[in-house]
Amino acid sequence: MRRRNLWITAIVLSLAGCVPSTRSAELAPVDPATPAAASELADTRWQALRERADAIGWTDETRERFVAALPKIETHLHLDGALSPKTIAALAQDQGYAPLMDRSEAEIAALTVVDTPREDLATVLEAFFTIYPLLHTPEALETVSYDLIANAHEQQIRYLEVRFAPVLQAVPEQGFTIEAVLEAVLAGLERGRRDFGVESAVIVCLFRPLPVEVNATMLEAAIAFKDRGVVGIDLAGDESEVPLTTFADLYRQAGDAGLYRTVHAGEVADSDDLALAVELGVDRIGHARYLDADPALLEEVQRRGIALEINLTSNHRTGAIATLAEHPAKRWFDAGVAINVSTDDPGVFGITLTGEYLLLIQELGFSVGDLIELQRRTIATLFMSEADKRRLEARMLADIEALLDAV
């Protein structure tokens, strides 16, 4: 599938990642004072939870309720793809935005929600054109970022990595710089953390259709905000039009600066981006759908512990897979590959993370225990320190144990 050459086309979709785990679940004699011992102890707890969940005789109803309540993590989510029609309607009214301010939520949904498979990514990305004009003020960005956390809380998401290309929201001639965009989003995320207890971090999306120099300014800003909530970079857009090699130097600079790195790659069949991403030593790869066609590269991905950010419905709606069931996620998961699962663009696709998890069960054959294991693998490849991972892991383990106790 080739995509059209709109720069905006490149905008964005995608998602997810996680970590493989092949460690033994045996509880060896350990000294919990050491990080390695604590980690092994945690692995044993994860394995026990997985087995408990898979020993339960679930009905559709009890399973659905459990999945809804399951503590989750989301790693591949685009801020500008997360706006619901309700939020868009409110922003249009607040801003007096003529093209949308008098439209009903249903009318706005018809313009911004892609609820059936489309011919290609470019067609899907048209929805974003409707949304962009509303995201050029600090107030709007603070609000949508706060709403993102409120929605994450409803999905029982404990930690979220949100991505966007701040240059697309900036209006430098009005003093609304890339840095100011980042400030506004981080302020909304922080307000959300205070109100809902959901932690988050920002990934700055480089954007293929934009010149390297423009992307370099986003990388500069990402580095400047490295200790203030920005944790990594991504590259979004149509890889069949502008290859990763164009931005290889920026990826090296980001790595040298200590930023984590993910990249949208392998969304189309005839791209060299997957191989280059591995060569560049990225931490995660978004989509990677066509990794399936290169067993040797898949093996290398697994050997290096590179996580794959899976976005099931997104791949279906953009035509990357013809049916949900053909997605390789379950085979990768069973082979121990570090996958994680996200929504990519929950607003544009009209989906939720809980809904995606249920699709994993219904369409791909994941068990409830597999979804618990998915959390463990996801934590291992988050863009955070080992100490923060252990802290999040302890919280997730305790919450999942309590949830299983209540079944």
Where do we find the tokens 């085979």?
A: 331
First to last CA, the chain: 45
Residues 344-403 that bind Zn ion (CB under 5 A): 344
| Closest distance of CB 344 from Zn ion, Å | 5
Maximum C-alpha span of the chain: 67
Of 50 and 284, the one with the shorter C-beta distance to Zn ion is 284
| Closest distance of CB 75 from Zn ion, Å | 10
When asked if residue 342 is in the footprint of Zn ion (CB under 5 A), the reply is no
Binding mask 287-326 for Zn ion (x = CB under 5 A): ----------------------------------------
Stretch near Zn ion under the rule CB under 5 A, chosen from 135-143, 152-160, 267-275, 343-351? 343-351
Q: Which residues partner with 183 through β-bridges?
A: none
Stretch near Zn ion under the rule CB under 5 A, chosen from 9-17, 30-38, 109-117, 139-147? 9-17
Q: Which residues are catalytic?
A: 267
How far, in Å, are 200, 258, 274, 384 from residue 160 at the CA level? Answer: 5, 20, 24, 11
**CA-wise closest residue to 316 among 81, 142, 71, 121:** 121
| Tokens representing residue 83 in the block | 């706006």
When asked if residue 271 is in the footprint of Zn ion (CB under 5 A), the reply is no
When asked if residue 122 is in the footprint of Zn ion (CB under 5 A), the reply is no
Of 151 and 318, the one with the shorter C-beta distance to Zn ion is 318
| Closest distance of CB 384 from Zn ion, Å | 20
DSSP assignment of 29-56, as one string? Answer: ---TTSHHHHHHHHHHHHHHHHHHHHTS
| Closest distance of CB 77 from Zn ion, Å | 8
Stretch near Zn ion under the rule CB under 5 A, chosen from 7-15, 84-92, 118-126, 376-384? 7-15
Residue nearest to Zn ion (CB): 14
Of 14 and 378, the one with the shorter C-beta distance to Zn ion is 14
| Tokens representing residue 172 in the block | 């430098």
| Closest distance of CB 292 from Zn ion, Å | 18
Stretch near Zn ion under the rule CB under 5 A, chosen from 138-146, 167-175, 249-257, 336-344? 336-344
Of 158 and 284, the one with the shorter C-beta distance to Zn ion is 284
Residue 274 phi, psi dihedral angles, 5° rounding: -60, -45
| Closest distance of CB 205 from Zn ion, Å | 8
Stretch near Zn ion under the rule CB under 5 A, chosen from 10-18, 57-65, 133-141, 326-334? 10-18
When asked if residue 206 is in the footprint of Zn ion (CB under 5 A), the reply is no
- Angle at which helix 85-95 crosses helix 105-112, to 10 degrees, equals 110
Spatial separation of the C-alpha atoms in residues 150 and 170, rounded to whole Å: 24
Q: Which residues partner with 171 through β-bridges?
A: 176
Compute the CA torsion angle 123, 124, 127, 129 (nearest 10 deg).
-60
Of 238 and 344, the one with the shorter C-beta distance to Zn ion is 344
Spatial separation of the C-alpha atoms in residues 281 and 301, rounded to whole Å: 10
Of 14 and 47, the one with the shorter C-beta distance to Zn ion is 14
Of 53 and 235, the one with the shorter C-beta distance to Zn ion is 235
| Closest distance of CB 245 from Zn ion, Å | 20
Please say whether the beta carbons of 380 and 18 come within 8 A.
yes
| Tokens representing residue 47 in the block | 């394995």
Stretch near Zn ion under the rule CB under 5 A, chosen from 26-34, 58-66, 168-176, 342-350? 342-350
**Which residues, other chains included, contact 244 with Cβ-Cβ below 8 Å and sequence gap of 6+?**
235, 251, 263, 265, 272, 273, 276, 277, 280
Please say whether the beta carbons of 285 and 265 come within 8 A.
yes
Binding residue (CB under 5 A) for Zn ion from 9, 14, 318, 381: 14
| Closest distance of CB 163 from Zn ion, Å | 7
Q: Residue 63: in which H helix or E strand, if any?
A: helix 60-69
Binding residue (CB under 5 A) for Zn ion from 10, 13, 280, 371: 13
Of 14 and 217, the one with the shorter C-beta distance to Zn ion is 14
Cα 41 to chain centroid distance, Å, stands at 28
- Please give the residue ranges that form the binding site for Zn ion (CB under 5 A): 13-15, 344
